[in-house]
Amino acid sequence: MKLGTLLSAFACMTLSMGFATPAKAEDPIKIGVYMPLTGQNAFAGQLELEGIQLAHKITPTVLGRPVELVIVDNKSDKVEAANAVKRLAERDNVTAIIGTYASSLSLAGGEVAERAKVPVLATSSTNPLVTQGKKYYFRACFIDPYQGAAAAAYAYKTLGYKKAAVLTDVVSDYAVGLSNFFKKSYKKLGGELVADMKYSSGDQDFTAQLTELISKKPDIVFMPAYFAEGAIIMKQARELGATFVLMGGDAMDNPDTVKIAGKAAEGFMQTAFPYDMTMKDMNDQAKAFTEAWKKNFPNKDPNVNATLGYTCYDMIIDALKRAGKADREAVTKALAETKGLATPVGIMTLNANHDAEIPVGILKYENGKRIYLGEIVPE
């Protein structure tokens, strides 16, 4: 047998026996991204992807190797989210995954990630169940108990509102969880909950719920909606003559909120992740992100979703550097040990539950613009 034929036969035998070919120094390190690029959550998913891509453009290599982004659309669907993680882990053999926007999608993908033993870093999935009991799932954002408590504290203590109501999308894991945490914290502070109204994702007419809310005369209505439905609720509330203040959660943080709601957005408030282009005293990382964004997207203002995508990419790169190799278990361990990392959303530390310990911001809409008022510390 000729030498070339012998070597070919050996190579085939090696593969058939399951031995992996060692990675070459120039082989790319694959980082998966699963985001809702179509469907209900597409706008936010696209923003987060743009933030990831911007960070990748700035830092395209790590450990002496190029980084390759493998992007999959989870289509704002739970089954598609699970399939996306399975594909990235098994077919694409990524070292780590970034995603996703929307807690329900992360909950679906998380079960697959645990079985595949691949580390995943969620951008803006705030439901506590996303990381609860998980070894391989992490997040770069605060969780809903903290956000709900912050919203309640701001409404009751800072604004002095003694009567509140909630309007909740019962189909959304995110909305149900955040509403529950707001109600619990608000009542604990001494506030009165005068109404607890519900709707379902995709509803367009909120007249019945809003009419009932108006009759109960709350000072403030907390509605942790996604931006499209939230903006419609704002418009219909004002058309019906509602005078109560409307307050939302982080999912309302979208440039299109004002475009859809128009003048009805005036006075609206929301909790938010701690970045906005209007904020005072930006840290150096936030300034660098803002400058890079404006250079690459001159016709579009930076958004906190993009900031979180950018932050997640940098956190994965930091974990790879500390791990010293593109190995799933090593990167998982490094992510779990993330402490004191300077990022655009503040000094990032992941706690024992794999949740980010960062402040809660508060935004208010005035004269057609979003104003970053500062940060809230819940009771």
What is the CATH classification number for the domain harbouring 117? 3.40.50.2300
Distance of CA 262 to the CA centre of its chain: 25
CA distance 161 to 156: 5
- Do residues 366 and 244 both lie within one domain? yes
Q: Do β-strands 65-73 and 61-62 pair in parallel, antiparallel, or remain unpaired?
A: antiparallel
Q: Is residue 98 part of a domain?
A: yes
- Do residues 182 and 169 both lie within one domain? yes
**Which residue in this structure is represented by tokens 């109560």?**
244
Joined together, the tokens standing for residue 232 give 């419609």
Looking at residue 183, its pLDDT comes to 98
Neighbours of 136 (CB within 10 A): 26
Looking at residue 22, its pLDDT comes to 52
Looking at residue 379, its pLDDT comes to 63
- Do residues 244 and 107 both lie within one domain? no
Amino acid at 325: K
- Do residues 39 and 151 both lie within one domain? no
Joined together, the tokens standing for residue 252 give 């309302």
Q: Is residue 8 part of a domain?
A: no
Strand ranges of the sheet holding 269-272, from the earlier edge strand across to the other edge: 192-199, 163-169, 220-222, 245-248, 269-272, 360-366, 369-376
Strand residue runs (E) in the chain? 29-35, 61-62, 65-73, 96-98, 120-122, 137-139, 163-169, 192-199, 220-222, 245-248, 269-272, 341-343, 346-348, 360-366, 369-376
CA distance 342 to 325: 22
- Do residues 189 and 254 both lie within one domain? yes
CA distance 320 to 332: 9
Contacts of 10 by beta carbon, 8 Å cutoff, 6+ apart? none
Looking at residue 168, its pLDDT comes to 97
CA distance 169 to 17: 52
Helix axes 103-116, 173-189, angle to 10 degrees: 110
Joined together, the tokens standing for residue 48 give 């987060």
Strand residue runs (E) in 16-92? 29-35, 61-62, 65-73
Phi, psi dihedral angles at 68 (to 5 degrees): -110, 125
CA-angle at 271, arms to 141 and 227, nearest 5°: 95
Q: Is residue 296 part of a domain?
A: yes
CA distance 377 to 266: 25
Q: Is residue 355 part of a domain?
A: no
Contact 178, 141 (CB under 8 A): no
Phi, psi dihedral angles at 372 (to 5 degrees): -80, 110
Joined together, the tokens standing for residue 328 give 């799933």
Contact 168, 233 (CB under 8 A): no
Looking at residue 281, its pLDDT comes to 86
Widest Cα–Cα separation across the chain: 91
Q: Is residue 161 part of a domain?
A: yes
Query: Closest Cα partner for 321 from 63, 26, 65, 96?
Result: 63
- Do residues 218 and 244 both lie within one domain? yes
Phi, psi dihedral angles at 196 (to 5 degrees): -135, 90
Per-residue pLDDT of the chain (379 residues; tens, 9 = 90+): 444 444 444 444 444 444 444 556 579 999 999 999 999 899 999 999 999 999 999 999 999 999 999 999 999 999 999 999 999 999 999 999 999 999 999 999 999 999 999 999 999 999 999 999 999 999 999 999 999 999 999 999 999 999 999 999 999 888 999 999 999 999 999 999 999 999 998 899 999 999 999 999 999 999 999 888 999 999 999 999 999 999 999 989 877 788 889 999 999 999 999 999 889 889 999 999 999 999 999 999 998 999 999 999 999 999 999 999 999 999 999 999 999 999 999 999 999 999 998 889 999 999 988 899 999 877 6
- Do residues 206 and 294 both lie within one domain? no
- Do residues 367 and 233 both lie within one domain? yes
**How many independent structural domains does the chain possess?**
2
- Do residues 160 and 136 both lie within one domain? no
Residue 155, domain extent: 145-272+361-376
- The answer to whether the predicted template modeling score (pTM) of the entire model surpasses 0.75 is yes
